[in-house]
């Protein structure tokens, strides 16, 4: 076999064997690059159907192109032999790097971010790994983890009283993967899906920080029983509560209780260590001269990896400013209070399962344990604000209650970044926009990882009509937190107001790819269609909302606008009742939406009344007000010209007043 040519690959040396064939180091004669070549010969006990499945799965996986995934270049048949050509990666298996004490927490988080990003890339393209484990992750000498074998898992069968044995390739209904990393639903015979990969990621993270697997036993039966019924042993004290909460959620027995998307896991891990980009490599580790060859024998198709022994780095010092919670806030001195806080974030974050009553209960428990826990009190205040932002309430008293809670939080911790962030949005909602930049500055000085602070700054620049700054801030937010949907929502709304309807639609659809029922994404997308005059698509978009959201005030305001544009005046007025008008008065985007509604309805007096109210609350979007197609019926009215003149004057005075601090 050595020296011969298989297709256009020249085989150089055998570097391992496993599964159904042999792995060679080979040279691609066409592209002149080294590859790992897995060859499945005629002697292997593989039928034609299995070969076809092998090729189909290999070709599916070859569509993946990500810096943290070992690339499959090609799969084919030559000279009666099936082969798979793949990237030849230098590095060390993650399993070999994990000692009895585990990895430093910071290193585990960095690897976790990149592995989660690789999973997100694959899942978005319909590829589920099905055999994710630390032995299938190689860490390169530059410190970049590479995941092997996407879409190429095999089935594992265990007979009573026998050792675990494996059979190549996956089949419908087969149990696939490595037992210690299998999700409960897979053990029950259910098909693996992306959430099964997330369970395996949870096992890997647990193993990375503890040095041991969460579910163990002397036999396969006992391991399976532990996975199905037992809780993992508590994580050691050195594991931060934020990371512990992420691991616990990943290891939830029911798939619906885990993170639903790998991108959510990536965002949660990034929040613990702000600034760690998924594509960024960890610092270079020292490489010894000792070289090893590694091939995972039990895997049906395994990327051959040439690796070198790598010395582990010593644990880096703790970041300046002391320990932080998963959202970057300062923790309580009480561990139980911190645990309740972290649990609350599972029900309130932008990518989380949103359940405000449950979030509130967790925060109330945190505050009962530590009444001076400033971050928990600030987050509790934010649960009041979010009732307005999401359209669940039209009661302005929520804002006063929130502000009272924030004042208490700042008395206990004047430097609480979360409190300053929440105060920024309260100022914006109450018409005190000039105070927003200062609060955002105070937030980011203490917690540069507060993504919401960027959102408030985007809103501030947008309301000021400063689109260049608003777009720049939105793009900075997206670059740092690609899966934080409010950044995409804000950018889409900015593009709509700049006349880029296609760009607006693209950004809002990105949100809906993550959550098809996201109300902000749906309403902003519908607004883009309304502005372009595409009423059927606007209607189709609003109809995508869940039935239980039909009473949402925010959604109803957009329904009223659609009905008005469709000429259904009676229905439109029923929708825009006193309750919806009350909401328009407390939500900072509401007054202009109401002005658009009454302008379309032909009620000039009410349209101008709401426009005047919007401007008095600080809406300085002069350029947009002159171009907004939904205000066309009132644009020539003298009162409209007076309102625009007042906006122009205020904008002209702003630079001299020094109000544009950012």
User: Where do the domains of the chain lie?
Assistant: 95-131+147-285, 580-662
Question: How many other β-carbons are positioned within 10 Å of the β-carbon of residue 650?
Answer: 16
Rounded distance between C-alpha atoms, residue 18 and residue 303, angstroms: 11
Nearest to 526 by CA among 547, 556, 551, 552: 556
According to DSSP, the β-strands at 9-18 and 5-6 are antiparallel
Q: Which CATH class is domain 95-131+147-285?
A: mainly alpha
At residue 312, the pLDDT reads: 27
- The CA distance from 433 to 400, in Å, is 16
CB atoms within 10 A of CB 283: 10
Q: What is the dihedral of CA 516, 520, 521, 522, to 10 degrees?
A: 70
Region of 258 on the Ramachandran plot (φ > 0 left; ψ -120 to 50 alpha; else beta): beta
CA distances from 178 to 16, 20, 196, 301, 426 (A): 20, 17, 12, 14, 50
Predicted confidence (pLDDT) per residue in 96-134, tens digit: 888 888 898 989 999 999 999 999 988 888 888 888 999
Out of 131, 149, 620, 628, pick the active-site residue.
Answer: 131
Give the whole-angstrom CA distance, residue 498 versus residue 327.
Answer: 33
Helix, coil or strand: residue 283: coil
Res 151: pLDDT: 52
- What does the pLDDT read at residue 309? 26
Low-confidence residues in the chain, pLDDT < 50: 19, 42-45, 153-176, 274-320, 350-352, 656-662
**pLDDT for the residue numbered 167:** 37
Q: Are 183 and 195 spatial neighbours (Cβ–Cβ below 8 Å)? A: yes
pTM: 0.54
Is 131 a residue of the active site? yes
């Amino acid at each position: 076999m050595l020296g011969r040519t298989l297709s256009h690959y020249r085989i150089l040396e055998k570097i391992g064997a496993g599964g159904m064939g042999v792995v060679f180091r080979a040279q691609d004669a066409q592209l002149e690059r080294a590859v790992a070549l897995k060859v499945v010969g005629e002697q292997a006990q593989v039928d034609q159907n299995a070969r076809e499945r092998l090729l189909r799965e290999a070709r599916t996986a070859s569509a993946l192109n990500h810096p943290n995934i070992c690339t499959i270049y090609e799969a084919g048949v030559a000279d009666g032999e099936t082969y798979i050509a793949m990237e030849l990666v230098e590095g060390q298996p993650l399993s070999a790097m994990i000692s009895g004490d585990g990895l430093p927490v910071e290193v585990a988080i960095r690897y976790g971010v990149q592995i989660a990003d690789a999973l997100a890339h694959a899942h978005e393209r319909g590829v589920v790994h099905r055999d994710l484990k630390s032995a299938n992750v190689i860490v390169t000498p530059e410190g970049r983890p590479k995941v092997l074998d996407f879409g190429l898992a095999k089935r594992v069968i265990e007979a009573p009283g026998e050792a675990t044995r494996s059979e190549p390739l996956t089949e419908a209904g087969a149990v696939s993967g490595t037992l210690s990393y299998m999700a409960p639903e897979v053990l029950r015979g259910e098909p693996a899906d992306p959430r099964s990969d997330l369970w395996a990621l949870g096992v890997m993270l647990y193993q990375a920080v503890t040095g041991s697997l969460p579910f163990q036993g002397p036999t396969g039966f006992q391991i399976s029983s532990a996975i199905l019924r037992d809780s993992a042993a508590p994580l050691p004290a050195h594991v931060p509560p934020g990371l512990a909460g992420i691991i616990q959620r990943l290891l939830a027995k029911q798939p619906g209780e885990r993170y639903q998307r790998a991108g959510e896991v990536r965002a949660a891990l990034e929040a613990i260590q702000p600034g760690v980009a998924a594509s960024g490599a960890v610092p270079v580790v020292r490489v010894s001269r000792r070289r090893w060859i590694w091939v995972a024998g039990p895997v049906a198709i395994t990327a051959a990896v040439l690796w070198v022994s790598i010395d582990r780095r010593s644990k880096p010092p703790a970041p300046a400013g002391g320990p932080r919670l998963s959202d970057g806030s300062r923790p309580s001195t009480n561990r139980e209070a911190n645990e309740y806080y972290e649990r609350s974030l599972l029900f309130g974050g932008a990518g989380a399962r949103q359940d405000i009553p449950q979030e509130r209960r967790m925060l109330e428990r945190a505050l009962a344990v530590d009444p001076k826990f400033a971050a928990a009190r600030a987050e509790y205040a934010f649960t009041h604000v979010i009732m307005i932002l999401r359209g669940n309430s039209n009661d302005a008293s929520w804002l006063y209650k929130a502000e009272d809670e924030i004042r208490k939080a700042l008395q206990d911790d004047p430097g609480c970044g979360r409190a300053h962030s929440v105060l920024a949005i309260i100022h914006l909602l109450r018409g005190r926009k000039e105070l927003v930049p200062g609060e955002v500055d105070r937030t980011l000085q203490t917690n540069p990882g507060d993504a919401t602070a960027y959102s408030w700054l985007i809103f501030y620049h947008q309301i000021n009509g400063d689109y260049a700054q608003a777009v720049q801030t939105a793009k900075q937010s997206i670059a740092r937190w690609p899966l934080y949907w409010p950044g995409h929502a804000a950018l889409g709304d900015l593009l709509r107001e700049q006349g880029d309807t296609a760009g607006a639609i693209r950004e809002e659809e990105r949100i809906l790819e993550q959550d098809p029922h996201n109300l902000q994404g749906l309403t902003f997308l519908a607004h883009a269609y309304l502005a372009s005059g595409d009423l059927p698509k606007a209607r189709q978009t609003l109809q995508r909302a869940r039935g239980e959201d039909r009473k949402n005030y925010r959604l109803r305001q957009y329904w009223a606008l659609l009905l008005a544009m469709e000429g259904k005046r009676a229905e439109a007025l029923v929708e825009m009742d006193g309750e919806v008008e009350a909401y328009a008065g407390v939500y900072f985007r509401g007054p202009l939406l109401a002005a658009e509604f009454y302008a379309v309805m032909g009620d000039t007096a009410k349209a101008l009344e709401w426009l005047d109210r919007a401007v008095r609350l600080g809406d300085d979007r002069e350029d947009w007000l002159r171009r907004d197609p939904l205000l066309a019926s009132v644009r020539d009215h003298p009162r409209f010209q007076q309102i625009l003149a007042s906006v122009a004057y205020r904008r002209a005075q702003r630079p001299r007043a020094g109000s544009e601090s950012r």
